[in-house]
Amino acid sequence: MRVVNHPILGEEERKEYVTIYYNGKPLNAMAGETIAATLMSAGIRKFRKTPKYKRDRGVYCGIGRCTDCVMVVNGKPNVRTCVTPVEEGMSVETQIGYGKGEE
Amino acid sequence: MKETQVVIVGGGPAGLAAGIEIAKSGGQVTVLDENKKPGGQLFKQIHKFFGSREHLAGTRGYEIGTKLLEETKELGVDVILDAPVYGIFEGKTVVYSKDGKQHQIKGDKIILATGATENTLAFPGSDLPGVMGAGAAQTMINVNRVLPGKKVLMVGSGNVGLIVSYQLMQAGADVVGLVEAAPNVSGYGVHASKISRGGVPIYTSHTVKRAMGDGEVSKVEICELDERFQMIEGTEKILDVDTICIAVGLSPMSEIAWTIGCDFTFIPTFGGHVPKHNENMESTISGIYVSGDISGVEEASSAMEEGRLAGIAASESLGLYSEEKAKELKGQVWNRLNTLRDGEFGEKRKQSKNVQISRYMEDANE
């Protein structure tokens, strides 16, 4: 759900894409955008599961304050996806609990 | 350890404006910001600003941001990005992390321009993905150009709720409704009219009862409130939405000011507890200044002016401006600030600012 035409911002001019892997599945990401933006553009809004009740959580603040959107990125847990830019070949996985593997 | 004359924490409108003023006076200044891009939240503000011409009224927020960045570059303000500040120690040593390492920088003066953070609202299902801050939705559509959802319910009719509703519509989302607990819309009438004309029903005296959905939002139940803000049974309505945006105010991001011992005072108009400060934006700790939303949540125009004020005052105390010159410059900024805090909506803020400053003075006179 990308905003291609915009009455104020005009037409989308960015053209360069990279590929990231969401739970192993390749996704088309716009170079330089945040991981959260890529996932949301693909309609993915469940980013992690809470440690105790395993409830789904997603983006809340979108500016790196609330840490609700953290995921396991390139094997590293607790990465704030709303302020972390995508990189070619990056692996992004749903974080379960504290992100230390099966919990 | 690196040393400089002024360290500014936060590279949004207030911090950058402060940095510009210090550089203009010939001072050495470093701005630290946790983000990868400077400008704070200006780049998601695609609406035209209000005020007078000297406040760049009619100019869109992101254009103001671009201007600030150009000026910062021209004047050689040192801006360090991706550098979260996590404490200030031994007076004025600012500690931050960069590239996974700890760094320190000592300033003669420090300006805190850390901004604010969005409030949230608790209701059953408020933790479901799809419930997000209105500011987050704004970042998604205007900065990332991605729709957070197709059918949106906005909660809160302040200017943020109204403006973001309109911008969601501009981006192609369907705003299903706007819910406001108070009996009246609280933001500007012009903004409210814009969304009403766009066909968005505004439900005043209403609140969210619960968000529903399997793992993410798919419906929301709203209901009417009585004059004591209690839910009225039997008035429930279920709306088909995939996104609920929360625009119920902002709170100053004041952790650093608390930890270093600044005195605070409680001013609801400004979002809660704010550091007391004088007419120079100096906190109760000598040489520590505050400006922008941390000193009271307002908007970007007043944040920039407060940043300028803090910058000029810091330069003066460093001897970069004569008392006379500084008085003239500060007077100009105060005039502009007073204009911004004029009128029906500004008057309350002007009074609150006076209270904030008078509480600083009471302490100083004790």
B224-266 per-position pLDDT tens digit: 999 999 999 999 999 999 999 999 999 999 999 999 999 999 9
Tell me whether A87 touches chain B (CB under 8 Å).
Answer: no
**Helical (H) or strand (E) element with B314:** helix B300-317
Distance from CA of A76 to the nearest CA of B (A): 14
The pLDDT score that the predictor gives to residue B55 is: 66
Q: How far is B86 from chain A (nearest CA, A)?
A: 13
Q: One-letter amino acid identity for B239?
A: L
**For the complex shown, is ipTM > 0.85?**
yes
Whether the CB-CB separation of A14 and A30 falls below 8 Å is answered with yes
pLDDT value of position B56: 66
Residue B115: which residues within 8 A CB-CB, separation 6 or more? B10, B12, B14, B40, B41, B252, B253, B292, B293, B294
> What is the distance between the alpha carbons of residues B113 and B309, in angstroms, rounded to a whole number?
12
- The C-alpha of A96 sits at a distance from chain B's nearest C-alpha, in angstroms, of 14
Judge whether residue B276 has pLDDT over 80: yes
- Could you read off the pLDDT of B37-56 as tens digits, one per residue? 899 888 888 888 776 666 66
Check CB contact of A52 with chain B, cutoff 8 Å.
no
Of chain B, the percentage scoring pLDDT greater than 70 comes to 98
When pLDDT is cut at 50, 70 and 90, the band that residue A103 belongs to is: low
For residue B199, what pLDDT is reported? 95
Could you read off the pLDDT of A43-72 as tens digits, one per residue?
A: 999 999 999 999 999 999 999 889 999 999
Mean pLDDT for the stretch of residues B135-152 = 95
- Taking 60 as the threshold, does the pLDDT of residue B323 lie above it? yes
Contact between B145 and A2 (Cβ < 8 Å): yes
pLDDT at residue number B346: 87
Q: Kindly state the DSSP code that residue A64 receives in the 8-state scheme.
A: S
Q: Can you give the pLDDT at residue B54?
A: 66
pLDDT at B344 (0 to 100): 76
pLDDT of residue B222: 98
Task: Sort strands A17-22 and A25-30 into parallel, antiparallel or unpaired.
Answer: antiparallel
First to last CA, chain A: 33
CB neighbourhood size of B236 (10 A): 13
Count interface pairs A-B at CB distance under 8 A: 97
Report the half-sphere exposure of A1 (CA within 13 A, side-chain side): 18
What phi-psi label fits residue B172: left (phi over 0), alpha (psi between -120 and 50 degrees) or beta? left
Widest CA span in chain A: 47
Q: Closest-CA residue in chain B for A85? A: B36
Longest dimension (CA), chain B: 68
Cβ <8 Å between A1 and B147: yes
Q: Is pLDDT above 90 for A15?
A: no
- pLDDT given at position B256: 96
Cα–Cα distance, B278 to B81 (Å, whole number): 29
pLDDT value, residue B2: 93
Supply the DSSP symbol for B125: T
Judging contacts by C-beta atoms under 8 Å, the chain B residues touching residue A64 are 34-35
The answer to whether the Cβ–Cβ distance between B133 and A62 falls below 8 Å is yes
Q: Out of B53-67, B121-135, B188-202, B304-318, which region has the weakest mean confidence (pLDDT)? A: B53-67
CB distance B136–A60 less than 8 Å? yes
Q: In chain B, pLDDT over 90 holds for what percent of residues?
A: 86
- pLDDT the model gives residue A19: 98
Sign, Cα dihedral of B65, B288, B33, B131: negative
Confidence of residue B95 (pLDDT cuts 50, 70, 90): very high
Classify residue B290 as exposed, middle or buried by CB count within 10 Å of its CB (0-12, 13-18, 19+). buried
Mean pLDDT of chain B: 94
Provide the β-strand partners of residue A10: A6
pLDDT at position B37 is 87
User: What residues in A contact B132, CB-CB < 8 Å?
Assistant: 58-62
Q: Is A2 on the interface with B (CB under 8 A)?
A: yes
Query: What is residue B51's predicted lDDT score, i.e. its pLDDT?
Result: 67
Query: How are beta strands A91-93 and A70-73 bridged, if at all?
Result: antiparallel
